[in-house]
Homo-oligomer: A and B are copies of this chain.
Amino acid sequence: MSTDFDLVIRHGTLVTAGDTFAADLGIRAGRIAALGRGLTGRETVEADGLYVLPGAIDPHVHLQMEAFTAAGPTVTSDDWATGTRAAACGGTTTVIDFVEPAPGESLAQALAARRAQAEGRAAVDFGLHMTLSRADEATLAEVPALCRAGVTSFKTYTTYAGFKLADDELLRAFRAVGRAGGLALTHAENDALLAAAARDLLEQGRRSPAEFARSRPAAAEAEALERALALAEAAGVPFYAVHISTARGAASLQRARSRGQTAYGETCAQYLWLTDAEYARPGFEAARFVCAPPLRTAADGAALWRALAAGDLQAVGSDHCAFNARGQKDLAFAGADRPLPAFNEIPGGLPGVEARLALIHGGVVKGQIGLNRWVEVCCTGPARLFGLYPRKGSLEPGADADLVLFDPHKRVTLQKRVLHENVDYTPYDGLVLTGWPVATLLRGRVAVREGEWVGGSPNGQFLRRNLQDELFTADP
């Protein structure tokens, strides 16, 4: 084979969702051009002793997201520039974020504005889920056009003022998405249960973040997940549950799949590695772990690892939603003498886009999941489920040469200073991981090397994603 490749990654161990094999990988014009042995090219990257993976896909991030707090609006500390750069440093080469239309704004307008915000700033390619926070006829009439524009997944909520859809609205939305060939996502927590639990605690004067897990009980997730599954079943729409956090939720999903429903489940690294014990931290420190759903019991975490391994959950996202512990979580941006917020006033969300791939590899090290399953749930599964195939998430010729070189033996102690996320803490502080990305390629160019961004100006592109048609649903 001639030396007509732009770049060849040599001697690596290629790891995909299905295979682990030794091969060189030839890149031309930003794409994987060939997999073979003894390839040569104008440039060469030596990968002996390293895994070569398809770049990880984070299906669930919130960058530069406006949040409306009791103390006024704020915005997540990681914007499109910093958040995607951190993603790339962690081996994530595609993120899928959300469009959240304002009242009165059409979906198309909101999409255009969100794309404009990201383009020229995003360091990695990105897709966008559309949030359906209303289900009127005019809004749902836009769904097919959005699908044609490459926004093929639609997020709904069962809670949060301004977002929550009632059952009939959910069903209408699901049917519209199903007819258009899209995928329905749901944040599933029962709103009434959350409201009552919070109210009860506050009435007892229990307002510290230590109460947070109690304010969002596991039954709320279980209930809303059963509901969303039943509505999606009736609507005939493929369904994806974001951030499943409990054993009970995972069991609901498993039962639905065993009944034959097309349904998928995501969990997040924080539900696998952290527990509600964090809320016992002294003072306001527990606020760093406030996210919805909350951290759960150790038994929940163990069950989630098993569900990932057994195929009962299909993807891991980060739900990256970074707010600084000082200045944001404490609502200090609203003035120094504002009292500390109650548990339900703290901006919710954890950072995690950078460490996700390595955290899940930690499960491989501990024997909780297999090596190829790791790639499946972090890279290939999300790509497939969200219509990025065959361009992303695979090492096939024609695929974008988004790649990670991952050193399975490198030991890293997680702490703020080794991460590139623009936020003043990491919830994994002090955790020692074995295995860390050492280089990331974006469409054929080395963009990160040894934790340093070397990719020049940001060049992330908006990704038009495919529909859930037969060819690409491909049961994960």
Mark A residues whose CB is within 8 Å of B.
1-2, 4, 14, 16-23, 33-37, 166-168, 170-171, 175, 190-193, 195-197, 217, 219-220, 222-223, 226-227, 230-231, 233-234, 254, 257-260, 305-307, 309-312, 364, 367, 369-373, 376, 380, 384, 389-390, 394, 396-399, 470-476
| Chain B residues, CB < 8 A from A227 | 190, 223, 226-227
Beta-carbon nearest neighbor of A391 in chain B? B21
Task: Tell me if B20 and A231 are in contact (CB < 8 A).
Answer: no
A175–B23 Cα gap in the complex (Å)?
35
Q: Which of B171, B222, B396 contacts A23 (CB 8 A)?
A: B396
Question: Can you list the 3 inter-chain pairs with the closest CB atoms, starting with the nearest?
Answer: A372-B474, A311-B311, A223-B230
A selection of 23 A-B contacts at a CB cut-off of 8 Å is: A1-B2, A1-B33, A17-B17, A19-B396, A20-B389, A22-B398, A23-B396, A34-B397, A37-B398, A167-B193, A168-B192, A171-B196, A190-B230, A193-B231, A217-B234, A219-B230, A219-B233, A219-B234, A254-B258, A258-B307, A311-B475, A364-B470, A369-B475
Task: Tell me if A394 and B18 are in contact (CB < 8 A).
Answer: yes
A219–B322 Cα gap in the complex (Å)?
38
| Chain B residues, CB < 8 A from A34 | 1, 34-36, 397
From residue A297, how far is it (CB to closest CB) to chain B in Å?
11
From residue A429, how far is it (CB to closest CB) to chain B in Å?
29
| Chain B residues, CB < 8 A from A4 | 1
From residue A369, how far is it (CB to closest CB) to chain B in Å?
6
| Chain B residues, CB < 8 A from A306 | 258-260
Task: Tell me if A197 and B307 are in contact (CB < 8 A).
Answer: no
Task: Tell me if B470 and A21 are in contact (CB < 8 A).
Answer: no
| Chain B residues, CB < 8 A from A171 | 192-193, 196
From residue A18, how far is it (CB to closest CB) to chain B in Å?
5
A307–B469 Cα gap in the complex (Å)?
21
A369–B373 Cα gap in the complex (Å)?
20
| Chain B residues, CB < 8 A from A17 | 17-18
| Chain B residues, CB < 8 A from A475 | 309-311, 369-370, 372-373, 376
Task: Tell me if B192 and A258 are in contact (CB < 8 A).
Answer: no
A476–B19 Cα gap in the complex (Å)?
10
Task: Tell me if A470 and B230 are in contact (CB < 8 A).
Answer: no
From residue A435, how far is it (CB to closest CB) to chain B in Å?
13
| Chain B residues, CB < 8 A from A190 | 167, 227, 230-231
| Chain B residues, CB < 8 A from A396 | 14, 16, 19, 21, 23, 35
Task: Tell me if A394 and B226 are in contact (CB < 8 A).
Answer: no
Task: Tell me if B35 and A234 are in contact (CB < 8 A).
Answer: no
Task: Tell me if B258 and A310 are in contact (CB < 8 A).
Answer: yes
Beta-carbon nearest neighbor of A259 in chain B? B306
| Chain B residues, CB < 8 A from A398 | 21-23, 36-37
| Chain B residues, CB < 8 A from A231 | 190, 192-193, 223
| Chain B residues, CB < 8 A from A1 | 1-2, 4, 33-34
A336–B343 Cα gap in the complex (Å)?
65
From residue A169, how far is it (CB to closest CB) to chain B in Å?
8
| Chain B residues, CB < 8 A from A35 | 34-35, 396-397
Beta-carbon nearest neighbor of A225 in chain B? B226
Beta-carbon nearest neighbor of A252 in chain B? B226
Centre residue among A167, A197, A222 by max chain B CB count within 10 A: A167
From residue A234, how far is it (CB to closest CB) to chain B in Å?
5
| Chain B residues, CB < 8 A from A310 | 254, 257-258, 260, 311, 475
Task: Tell me if B309 and A311 are in contact (CB < 8 A).
Answer: no
Task: Tell me if B222 and A230 are in contact (CB < 8 A).
Answer: yes
Beta-carbon nearest neighbor of A377 in chain B? B475
From residue A39, how far is it (CB to closest CB) to chain B in Å?
8
Beta-carbon nearest neighbor of A473 in chain B? B370
| Chain B residues, CB < 8 A from A259 | 306
A373–B473 Cα gap in the complex (Å)?
10
A37–B33 Cα gap in the complex (Å)?
7
| Chain B residues, CB < 8 A from A223 | 226-227, 230-231
A380–B4 Cα gap in the complex (Å)?
31
A75–B175 Cα gap in the complex (Å)?
38
